[in-house]
Structure 1
Amino acid sequence: MQCECRAEIETAIRDHVEKTLPEGFQDYDAKLQGYGFALSGSQLTAPFFIEYKGEVQVPKKSGGGMKKQKIDTRIAAKYCPFCGKVARPDEKEA
């Protein structure tokens, strides 16, 4: 992402959640989900991915009957879901 929204949002959520935890809590570890790594040209980026999951019934190869097949893919967001900035790196930096 081109912006710092991920870090800023994670910090804000952490601050909010920590206020609700009992005194003396330990080992707090939480992160926004959905971010991954991808190559954009020769540059490594960390775009936000929207998951698309489901199931479908397909015919068995051996004939007769159906079997369940999972649908599992991700779609990279073109814009930050928080501030709307373009998700790809600057061409100047690439």
Structure 2
Amino acid sequence: MLNNKQKKFLRSQAHHLNPIFQVGKGGVNDHLITHIKEAIEVRELMKVTVLNNCVEDKHEVAEALATGASAELVQVIGKVIVLYKESKDNKTIVLP
């Protein structure tokens, strides 16, 4: 569980990142979660965009992605979700 200071730090680190994945009308599925797990292990911090044609609520999508990828939900702002998971092999982010 991240505290507020750590979330603020991660939000500042994620500001310049571009979203890697998009959730569309297909919603959250096992295929998407598998790819997010692989990418977050390498990057630790990533953004995901929820497209306008997604029928699910963006907060439900964020929770489903975070739970499925065993990651921490840092922020949902607009249609962008920020996820964090400490990497086992590629640790680059040091939390305060």
Q: Give the TM-score of the pair, scaled to structure 2.
A: 0.23
Greater relative contact order (Cα 8 A, min sep 6): structure 1 or 2?
2
TM-score, normalization by structure 1: 0.23
Greater C-alpha radius of gyration: 1
